[in-house]
Amino acid sequence: MNAIAPQIIDLEEAQVTAFNNDHIEEIITFFHPEFVGFSSTKHERIAGLQALYETFEFYSNEADKIEYEIDQPTVQVAGDSAVITFYWAVTIHKNQKTQTVKGRGSHVYIQTDGDWKIIHEHFSRAHHHIDN
């Protein structure tokens, strides 16, 4: 395995922890200022850190508790870029009800000034059952 791959996986796991602890300011630190991406819940692009912050804030306010997890992360590295693909599951707890949504995602990282930052993400819901 490329020496960079474990670093990228560690960044993803740290992001999962920040999300599950509702630390939006910390989550934003994983992203590049010129970030652009797609979520599984919106059709429009999310561009820039402010829009990303508002997206995470929306998710946080929509539920009593949200649990996010990733599974089977795979990293490809090309120079100062890396792509991680993974399966994800989000469990939403709201009004004493629980719903789990599953899907797949990818983050494109670029290395700037020695730090790896996410410049692009794409999340999509699964159209069929995924066994994690």
pLDDT tens track for 94-104: 999 999 999 99
Supply φ then ψ for residue 82, to 5 degrees: -150, 145
What pLDDT does residue 129 have? 55
User: Which residues face 98 on adjacent strands?
Assistant: 93
* AA identity, residue 53: Y
pTM for the predicted model, two decimal places: 0.88
Q: Over 60: is that where the pLDDT of 131 sits?
A: no
Token code pair at residue 59: 């998710």
pLDDT in tens, 33-42: 999 998 767 6
**85-95: per-residue pLDDT in tens?**
999 999 999 99
The residues, any chain, with a CB within 8 Å of residue 18's CB and separated by 6 or more, are 26, 27, 30
pLDDT, mean over the chain: 91
What is the DSSP-derived secondary structure letter of residue 127? S
- pLDDT above 90: residue 19: yes
